Structure 1
Amino acid sequence: METTEQFYNEFKPLLFSLAYRMLGSAMDAEDIVHEVFLTLRNIETEPISNMRAYLCKIVTNRCIDRLRSSSKKREVYVGPWLPEPIVTDGRDAGDPMQSYLAKESITTAYLLLLQQLSWVERAVFLLREVLQYDYDEIAEIVGKTSTNCRQIFHRAKRSIGGKHAMLAQGEGAEQSDGKRLAGEASRVIDQFVEALQSGNIGKLMSVLAADSTLFSDGGGKVTAAVRPIVGAERIALFLAGIMAKATSGFSFKVAVVNNQPGIVTYEDGKPSSVVSFLVEEGSIAAIYIVVNPDKLLHVH
């Protein structure tokens, strides 16, 4: 008979991935997964025939409870809200958690797309589209009928349109195509960094789509643009202005942010922002900058 520790090692990456995509917060996702396994350890139950479905149900319900309790905070959030970034250096292949997440659809753009869905829609969509549960299993997890879940799924899919398939970098993607897209993104980000370092406005604009958008999440805690900045020229001037004000303690590194090339900036060795991108057709379509210190606690 498997122990709680064995279940933890087996299912933690899956459950974290589910909770993170539901909440957009790595810290909250970790807390929920930890709580679920503590609960599992402390209760005596009849043998559970499908532990994976059982744990997914508990995690999903706790995520919905967390979202309900934090909905008021989201309503009064200052400026754009962005998900808490997951930053790696790309060398964590030996870590089961990182190996699992490397195959998952957790890009910033994808997470923001999921935020357009209601809590129940998001749960049904993830359980069906990503975890491949059948509607009877989903119905048991979310407390709806199978027919209702089928309707919710199709409504959610219509709501976010076909863009989710393009943004998802999951296991279903062709490996060669995934490598090509990753290589293209890396090349564009390298050009972006080079232009930013040199202060070349023209070169910076050349890697930005004409209608690109920059989102900056300070959460009202630090200075950030409270409205999205739209247009290549406005974004280039905004970023050049930030670089012109950089202190002697400023530094940065290229990192893997939510499975995509990104940037981490530092002030006197302490993380000050995490930057991720949406690259489409060889240009940067969106830039996401997280400067809210509460969302940088896991960044090194």
Structure 2
Amino acid sequence: MSMNVSDPSDKFNALTQIYKPHLLSIAHRMLGSSADAELTVRHVLQSHHELLHAHIHAMTAELTKKTINHCLNELRSVPKKGFIFVEAVNRLITALSNADMGSIEELMADDVVLIADGGGKVSVVAQPITGKTNVSCVLHGITTAQFPASRAKQVTVNGRQGILITQEGAPMGVVCLEWDPLTLLIQQIYIVANPDKLRHIRLT
């Protein structure tokens, strides 16, 4: 079987619809991040339009191989990126402490999303917040209003860089950060203030 699609945009759409779910499952298993997997698959698909003319089985094998290779390259760069992310987390902590909204925004992607979970026990935003200006204001408001007289430090949260907020030594909240691996900007922020969930978060 081969595909006969004349318009270039239609070619890409067809390629995406058919092969993206399969490639995403591979990339997510290897990278452990939805954002990283999405970017990897997008790169592979955009770089290989010419494969649309190939036999479907040959095309699947080729795209799978290219996705795996791209994931391996990403994994090899993790130590370097990990060091960069630690620096960025510490910059975010400093910016939040100083209410430096400009510096907070500089660390975020334009389409950053903030999600908060208070579990009905801690008052936080009920709906996702989007856009770096909105997110920076809300993030600063939450950390100031909900965690007064608290301390913040960089930690690894379930294998990802994040921020632990404590008060008198007790964990009050965790800010989990997901990064765009290409721009190294914050793509998603997940604040966990739910006491029930805080007990199960793995910190290192």
Same fold (TM over 0.5): yes
Write the deviation string for residues 69-98 of structure 1: whole angstroms up to 9, x where unpaired.
xxxxxxxxxxxxxxxxxxxxxxxxxxxxxx
Asked whether the 8 Å contact 1:278–1:286 carries over to 2, the reply is yes
Structure 1 residues 243 and 292, CA gap change in structure 2 (3 angstroms): closer
Structure 1 residues 214 and 296, CA gap change in structure 2 (3 angstroms): same
Q: Which residues of 2 match residues 1-300 of structure 1 at below 5 A?
A: 157-158=21-22, 160=24, 164=28, 167-168=31-32, 173=72, 176-245=76-145, 246-248=147-149, 250-280=150-180, 281-298=183-200
Write the deviation string for residues 103-122 of structure 1: whole angstroms up to 9, x where unpaired.
xxxxxxxxxxxxxxxxxxxx
Write the deviation string for residues 253-275 of structure 1: whole angstroms up to 9, x where unpaired.
21111112211111332211111
Alignment identity in percent?
28
Q: Amino acid of the residue matched to residue 162 of structure 2?
A: G
Gaps of 5+ in 2: 1-17, 34-70
Write the deviation string for residues 20-48 of structure 1: whole angstroms up to 9, x where unpaired.
xxxxxxxxxxxxxxxxxxxxxxxxxxxxx
Counterparts of 2:200 and 2:158 in 1: how far apart (Å)? Answer: 13
Q: Amino acid of the residue matched to residue 276 of structure 1?
A: C
Q: What's the offset of the Cα at 1:298?
A: 4.3
Q: Residue 179 of structure 1 aligns to a residue in which SS? A: helix
Structure 1 residues 294 and 210, CA gap change in structure 2 (3 angstroms): same
Counterparts of 1:192 and 1:238 in 2: how far apart (Å)? Answer: 14
Structure 1 residues 294 and 191, CA gap change in structure 2 (3 angstroms): same
Q: How many residues align?
A: 144
Asked whether the 8 Å contact 2:89–2:163 carries over to 1, the reply is no
Gaps of 5+ in 1: 1-153
Asked whether the 8 Å contact 1:264–1:274 carries over to 2, the reply is yes
Write the deviation string for residues 134-164 of structure 1: whole angstroms up to 9, x where unpaired.
xxxxxxxxxxxxxxxxxxxx99944956762
Asked whether the 8 Å contact 1:188–1:284 carries over to 2, the reply is no
Counterparts of 1:159 and 1:252 in 2: how far apart (Å)? Answer: 38
Asked whether the 8 Å contact 1:219–1:292 carries over to 2, the reply is yes
Asked whether the 8 Å contact 2:93–2:152 carries over to 1, the reply is no
Counterparts of 2:137 and 2:88 in 1: how far apart (Å)? Answer: 19
**Larger strand fraction of residues:** 2
Counterparts of 1:209 and 1:216 in 2: how far apart (Å)? Answer: 18
Q: What's the offset of the Cα at 1:231?
A: 0.6
Q: Residue 77 of structure 2 aligns to a residue in which SS? A: helix
Give the CA RMSD over aligned residues: 2.9
- Using structure 1 for the length normalisation, give the TM-score: 0.42
Q: Amino acid of the residue matched to residue 28 of structure 2?
A: H
Q: Which moved more, 1:218-227 or 1:276-285?
A: 218-227
Aligned residue for 2:46? none
Write the deviation string for residues 242-291 of structure 1: whole angstroms up to 9, x where unpaired.
3433433x112211111122111113322111111111112101111111
Counterparts of 2:117 and 2:23 in 1: how far apart (Å)? Answer: 25
Counterparts of 1:265 and 1:289 in 2: how far apart (Å)? Answer: 10
Aligned residue for 1:50? none
Q: Residue 264 of structure 1 aligns to a residue in which SS? A: strand
Q: Residue 226 of structure 1 aligns to a residue in which SS? A: coil
